[in-house]
Amino acid sequence: MNNHEAAPSTTGPSRPASLTPLVPHPPATSARKTRRFGSWYVAEQYLRAMKGYLDIVIAYSVGNPLIYLFAMGVGLASLVDANSGTASFDGASYLQFVAPALLASAAMMTASGEFTYGVMSGFKWWKTYYGPLATPLTPQQICQGHALAVAIRILGQSIVYLVIVLLFGAATSGWAVLSILTASLAGLAFGLPLMAYSASVRDDKGQFALVERFIVMPLFLFSGTLFPLSTLPWFLQWIGWISPVWHATEIGRVLSYGYAEPLWLSVVHVLYLLALTGGGLLLARRVYARRLEG
Amino acid sequence: MIQNPSRPAVIVADQLTKRYGDFTAVDSISFEVPAGESFGLLGPNGAGKSTTMRMIGGVSQRSGGTLSIMGLDPEQQGPEVRAHLGVVPQEDNLDQELKVRDNLIIYGRYFGLPMSYLRPKADELLEFAQLTEKSTARVDDLSGGMKRRLTIARSLINDPRVLLLDEPTTGLDPQARHILWDRLFRLKERGVTLILTTHYMDEAEQLCDRLIVVDQGRIMAEGSPAALIREYSTREVLELRFGADRNAGAADAVAGIGERIEVLPDRLLIYAHDGEAALDAVTARGLTPLTSLVRRSSLEDVFLRLTGRSLIE
Amino acid sequence: MSLIRDADLVLKPDRRPFAALYSRNIRAVIERGLMATRTSNAAIMISGFVEPVLYLLSMGIGLGALIGTVQGPEGTPISYAAYIAPALLTVSAMNGALYDSTINVFFKMNYGKLYQNMLHTSLGPLDVALGEIFLALLRGFLYATGFTIVMAAMGLITTWWALLMVPASVLIAFGFASIGMGITSYIRTFQQLDWVTFIMLPMFLFSATFYPLDVYPQAIQWLIQVLPLWHGVELLRQLSVGAFGVMTVVHVLYYVLMIGGGMMLTTNRLRALFLK
């Protein structure tokens, strides 16, 4: 693990190994530093591991927005705009309408991969959680560290996404930059409760494939992403109301093209996302503690 | 047991070679195994034993040399050859998606065997592996030893004429090992030819009529366990420990005692016909080792002599 | 248990063609697949049918309300749901077949070690490959049947010809499965598999699945028309309304050739895939 820094005074590349043995700082120092920065040490380990597949991470981060924005915002838009005009979207073009939704959905998709198979890998397949457990790190820090690393990945991916959105001319307001944060928040609001669930799974009997099909897919397709939520029959609209993607999409539309919405509703969107994120994290910490210490 | 040269060779390997890129896993080895023999490949991890086994089983393509199993080339006649083989791979590769008994039955179906044969046969093999109570359990729920026993039972589903066992008892407790050895002896009595790899020298000494010692893809020596010990070692070995950093210094002090001295990081080995006499000679020189032990020579000593390295590192 | 005599230890070579690779026992591989489904993953199997249905409901109802009707294969206007339904069925046939022949095969090879245990028996690699492809097609057949029933329930089927979508999607799945297994033989790491999924994504979205090809410049249109998914989408779209033409034959022929080429590639790569 990387939670020891080299002894400060004597290290240098030319120092003969036999002179003075390397001495780590005292255990009390390790314990103190780990209490303060433990989650970051765990996150560092994850981000270093991500370097091994950086090429595909980058390809997805750049390719995904290009492909989706083109297919939906240009291709599909040619049908939508021709048939219903901009009236359906408060004067915005279809491209402007879908861009915030695609941004938030991408954050959710990344979170859904990392917080299912990634968590299972930590507990079972590669047992990456059990190495740090033998150090002064606590289960809660191992949980937070993993979440932190994924949050950093989602944030990076959202920044790239927004740059491409701007290149497509799909946002008219400078406030759009803030939707990087709301989209990433949607990823965590969805991902952290999922992380708590994944940590409670002992055997992978295909539960994650079911999560993908019965939760992730519907949330993408029925969250007012590709069409306004109000187009759906009333008995399906509740999917949008509970969906982090819908909340982040709505606020993203406010930010990027001035979609009209009462202020209190925007506040509700943010509070809802924060509540899911915070609640999910608390729950995940508890499940991790029970499983890693039990 | 004396091998019978008049019996036909079941396996003939001639300059068998396997390369992975620049790395040569098996380096031009040649050997023959006559019918009914119990033949061993002894060597450390990475010596090329498993690769050789996989080539014999026709699941790995050789890079050079020739190989004949019961008169056929396993690369050209894989299905025909394997129909008569039983294989116990080093890592258990049981079917995780099937239950215990179904593992045996479906494996038998791969040989094209009819259900009327497989149902009673599966029950018989479950009995053999002491897994009758577990017949409807999931493979995941078995302990390591149980999985090993199931893998071995599975290899017998087709009544094989030749049994390939790659590290068969790794992961078994001592009692289970002895039960397995007993079963293997019985198969041998029926005329089954056994090919096994191991890095346990006691297992090689117990089970093998004849063995080859392999290291880094090459054959270092060949013969029966007793003959190899006679040729490459003395009757007894005296093991001395003087404490870390002091073994090498003590080696000079005991020079001349016994026939040969090996210095290992943690101990000194003195090879002598009479170990007790060698120990007397050591104490007569005023040396006081922390511990001393006299034992019979084993294949471990043969390996050390041949390669300068320990079998288990 | 009889004693083994010397005569038992001299085998006669099998003179059949493909004797090195094939033991005429595909059936055992299929039996195993069915038993594994029954024991371990029936729920996941069934759930696979849900994905295209969700797309159809979401886009057919939601986007359909915005788009209204579009031009069908014969030039007659059809509802947006009726326009995308055959495309979704094609995509589902492609996804299922490619998933089974790439990720699934790779996993069973390197992690589940299933093929190792099969190949220690008298099965040959060709038995294993054909058995697995058959299972993938059986699954594709069941999904296609289910999806067609959903289409009928939504009132999107107006002609008996539409029933031909079921065998046609099996044909499409066969094309992708045979190529997929060949591709898997070149794959060494899980990350490389991510690239396979990554390449499937643009094909899924760009092959006239959700909107007609004419939004693209001519050169891009040609490129898409070279790729297999477009031919599948067009074929099923024609079958769904019972409108046929010369192109119908071209689309079918495309898949027949793809299956032939894919099977040749896969057979040639069997040793690389299974016998390392």
User: Within this chain, do residues B52 and B88 fall inside the same structural domain, yes or no?
Assistant: yes
For C68, the closest chain A residue by CA position comes to A83
pLDDT at A4: 40
pLDDT at A11: 41
Cβ-defined contact of C59 to A221 (cutoff 8 Å): yes
**How many domains is chain B built from?**
2
Structural domain contains residue A7: no
Residue C265 phi/psi, 5° resolution? Answer: -60, -50
**How many domains is chain A built from?**
1
Averaged pLDDT for residues A214-232: 94
Tell which residue, B188, B295, B302, has the closest CA to residue B240.
Answer: B295
How is residue B190 annotated by DSSP?
T
Residue A62: is it exposed, middle or buried by C-beta count within 10 angstroms (0-12/13-18/19+)?
middle
Range of the domain at B264: 234-296
Contact A143, A285 (CB under 8 A): yes
Interface pTM, i.e. ipTM: 0.89
Sign of torsion, CA B137 B142 B145 B151?
positive
- For the stretch A37-53, pLDDT in tens is 999 999 999 999 888 88
Amino acid residing at A8: P
Structural domain contains residue B307: no
Structural domain contains residue B290: yes
- For the stretch B27-67, pLDDT in tens is 999 999 999 999 999 988 888 999 999 999 988 999 999 99
User: Within this chain, do residues B247 and B220 fall inside the same structural domain, yes or no?
Assistant: no
A17: confidence class by pLDDT, cuts 50, 70, 90: low
User: Within this chain, do residues B200 and B281 fall inside the same structural domain, yes or no?
Assistant: no
Does residue C54 sit at the A interface (CB-CB below 8 Å)?
yes
User: Within this chain, do residues B134 and B270 fall inside the same structural domain, yes or no?
Assistant: no
Mean of the per-residue pLDDT values of chain B: 90
User: Within this chain, do residues B173 and B250 fall inside the same structural domain, yes or no?
Assistant: no
Tell me how close the Cα of B260 comes to any Cα of chain C, in angstroms.
44
Residue C231 and residue C223: Cα distance in Å, rounded?
A: 12
Structural domain contains residue B312: no
Q: Which chains have 3 or more CB–CB distances shorter than 8 Å to chain A? A: C
Please identify among residues 167-186 of chain A the ones whose CB lies closer than 8 Å to any CB of chain C.
Answer: none
- Please list every residue in chain B whose beta carbon sits closer than 8 Å to the beta carbon of residue C22: 79
B312: confidence class by pLDDT, cuts 50, 70, 90: low
User: Within this chain, do residues B128 and B264 fall inside the same structural domain, yes or no?
Assistant: no
A12: confidence class by pLDDT, cuts 50, 70, 90: very low
- For the stretch B130-164, pLDDT in tens is 899 999 999 989 988 899 989 999 999 999 999 99
Residue A190 and residue C37: Cα distance in Å, rounded?
A: 31
The secondary structure of chain C in percent helix, strand, coil, rounded to multiples of 5, reads 75, 0, 25
- For the stretch C99-115, pLDDT in tens is 999 988 998 888 878 99
Mean of the per-residue pLDDT values of chain A: 90
Tell me how close the Cα of A196 comes to any Cα of chain C, in angstroms.
22
Q: What is the DSSP string of B145-183?
A: HHHHHHHHHHHTTT--SEEEEESTTTT--HHHHHHHHHH
Structural domain contains residue B1: no
Out of A56, A75, A79, the one facing C67 most closely (by C-beta) is A79
pLDDT at A6: 36
pLDDT above 70 coverage of chain B, percent: 97
Residue A184 and residue A277: Cα distance in Å, rounded?
A: 11
Averaged pLDDT for residues A137-150: 95
Structural domain contains residue B302: no
Q: Which of C38, C117, C118, C270 to mutate to test the interface with B (most CBs of B within 10 A)?
A: C117
User: Within this chain, do residues B222 and B238 fall inside the same structural domain, yes or no?
Assistant: no
User: Within this chain, do residues B220 and B93 fall inside the same structural domain, yes or no?
Assistant: yes
The three state secondary structure string of A108-127 is HHHHHHHCCHHHHHHHHHCC
Q: Is the pLDDT reported for residue C218 higher than 90?
A: yes
- For the stretch B246-266, pLDDT in tens is 887 888 888 888 899 988 888
User: Within this chain, do residues B223 and B244 fall inside the same structural domain, yes or no?
Assistant: no
Out of C14, C122, C274, the one facing B111 most closely (by C-beta) is C122
Structural domain contains residue B173: yes
pLDDT at B2: 45
B4: confidence class by pLDDT, cuts 50, 70, 90: low
Range of the domain at A220: 38-79+92-293
Structural domain contains residue B4: no
Structural domain contains residue A87: no
pLDDT at B166: 93
Residue C246: is it exposed, middle or buried by C-beta count within 10 angstroms (0-12/13-18/19+)?
exposed
Does residue C8 sit at the B interface (CB-CB below 8 Å)?
yes
Residue B26 and residue B15: Cα distance in Å, rounded?
A: 9
Residue B234 and residue B232: Cα distance in Å, rounded?
A: 7
Question: Radius of gyration (Cα) for chain B, nearest Å?
Answer: 22
- Please list every residue in chain A whose beta carbon sits closer than 8 Å to the beta carbon of residue C66: 80, 83-84, 88, 227, 231
* CATH number of the domain encompassing residue B238: 3.30.70.980
Q: Is the pLDDT reported for residue C189 higher than 90?
A: no
pLDDT at A7: 37
User: Within this chain, do residues B198 and B117 fall inside the same structural domain, yes or no?
Assistant: yes
Q: Which helix (H) or strand (E) holds B271?
A: strand B268-272
Q: Is the pLDDT reported for residue C166 higher than 60?
A: yes
* CATH number of the domain encompassing residue B129: 3.40.50.300
pLDDT at A2: 37
pLDDT above 70 coverage of chain C, percent: 99
